[in-house]
Amino acid sequence: MKARASIFGTVAVAAILAFNPRPVCRVVSSARDIQRCFQDLRNAGGSLNPVERLLLSLVLANTTVAPAEVNAAAAAVPRT
Protein backbone atom coordinates (compact mmCIF):
# COMPACT_ATOMS: atom_id res chain seq x y z
CA MET A 1 0.00 0.00 0.00
CA LYS A 2 2.84 2.40 0.83
CA ALA A 3 4.55 1.60 -2.46
CA ARG A 4 1.43 2.50 -4.42
CA ALA A 5 1.01 5.75 -2.52
CA SER A 6 4.66 6.59 -3.11
CA ILE A 7 4.41 5.85 -6.83
CA PHE A 8 1.20 7.88 -7.10
CA GLY A 9 2.81 10.82 -5.30
CA THR A 10 5.86 10.68 -7.56
CA VAL A 11 3.72 10.58 -10.68
CA ALA A 12 1.58 13.47 -9.41
CA VAL A 13 4.62 15.65 -8.71
CA ALA A 14 6.14 14.77 -12.08
CA ALA A 15 2.90 15.72 -13.83
CA ILE A 16 2.75 19.05 -12.02
CA LEU A 17 6.34 19.83 -12.94
CA ALA A 18 5.81 18.81 -16.55
CA PHE A 19 2.79 21.05 -17.07
CA ASN A 20 3.62 24.08 -14.93
CA PRO A 21 6.60 24.37 -12.55
CA ARG A 22 5.41 27.65 -10.97
CA PRO A 23 3.12 26.06 -8.33
CA VAL A 24 5.97 23.87 -7.11
CA CYS A 25 8.26 26.87 -6.71
CA ARG A 26 5.51 28.62 -4.79
CA VAL A 27 5.08 25.62 -2.46
CA VAL A 28 8.81 25.55 -1.75
CA SER A 29 8.79 29.28 -1.05
CA SER A 30 5.79 28.94 1.26
CA ALA A 31 7.44 26.06 3.11
CA ARG A 32 10.53 28.21 3.69
CA ASP A 33 8.38 31.07 4.99
CA ILE A 34 6.54 28.74 7.37
CA GLN A 35 9.81 27.27 8.62
CA ARG A 36 11.29 30.75 9.14
CA CYS A 37 8.24 31.92 11.10
CA PHE A 38 8.25 28.73 13.18
CA GLN A 39 11.93 29.20 14.07
CA ASP A 40 11.38 32.89 14.85
CA LEU A 41 8.54 32.01 17.22
CA ARG A 42 10.67 29.33 18.87
CA ASN A 43 13.60 31.71 19.33
CA ALA A 44 11.35 34.47 20.68
CA GLY A 45 10.65 32.40 23.77
CA GLY A 46 7.18 32.59 25.21
CA SER A 47 4.92 29.77 26.23
CA LEU A 48 3.70 28.53 22.86
CA ASN A 49 3.48 24.80 22.30
CA PRO A 50 4.47 23.34 18.90
CA VAL A 51 0.88 23.24 17.61
CA GLU A 52 0.33 26.91 18.43
CA ARG A 53 3.65 27.81 16.80
CA LEU A 54 2.66 25.86 13.68
CA LEU A 55 -0.72 27.58 13.42
CA LEU A 56 0.77 31.03 13.93
CA SER A 57 3.50 30.23 11.41
CA LEU A 58 0.89 29.28 8.82
CA VAL A 59 -0.92 32.57 9.38
CA LEU A 60 2.21 34.71 9.43
CA ALA A 61 3.75 33.07 6.37
CA ASN A 62 0.71 33.96 4.29
CA THR A 63 0.51 37.60 5.31
CA THR A 64 1.87 40.42 3.23
CA VAL A 65 2.70 43.97 4.20
CA ALA A 66 1.93 46.80 1.84
CA PRO A 67 5.03 48.79 0.80
CA ALA A 68 3.58 51.99 2.30
CA GLU A 69 3.30 50.29 5.70
CA VAL A 70 6.89 49.09 5.49
CA ASN A 71 8.13 52.58 4.66
CA ALA A 72 6.09 54.12 7.47
CA ALA A 73 7.40 51.55 9.97
CA ALA A 74 10.98 52.14 8.84
CA ALA A 75 10.57 55.90 9.19
CA ALA A 76 9.20 55.51 12.72
CA VAL A 77 12.26 53.60 13.94
CA PRO A 78 14.83 55.99 15.40
CA ARG A 79 18.30 55.60 13.92
CA THR A 80 21.36 55.82 16.07
Over pLDDT 70: what percentage of the chain?
62
Residue 71 has pLDDT above 80, yes or no: no
Q: Which one, of 33, 37, 64, lies nearest residue 53 by Cα?
A: 37
Residue 55 lies in a domain: yes
Residue 16 has pLDDT above 80, yes or no: no
Residue 15 lies in a domain: no
DSSP for the chain reads -HHHHHHHHHHHHHHHHHH-SHHHHHHHHHHHHHHHHHHHHHHT-SS--HHHHHHHHHHHHT----HHHHHHHHHHSPP-
Residue 77 has pLDDT above 60, yes or no: no
Domain span holding position 53 = 22-80
pLDDT at res. 54: 85
More confident residue, 6 or 20: 6
- The total number of structural domains that make up the chain: 1
Q: Which one, of 23, 27, 29, 34, lies nearest residue 59 by Cα?
A: 34
Residue 76 lies in a domain: yes
Residue 68 lies in a domain: yes
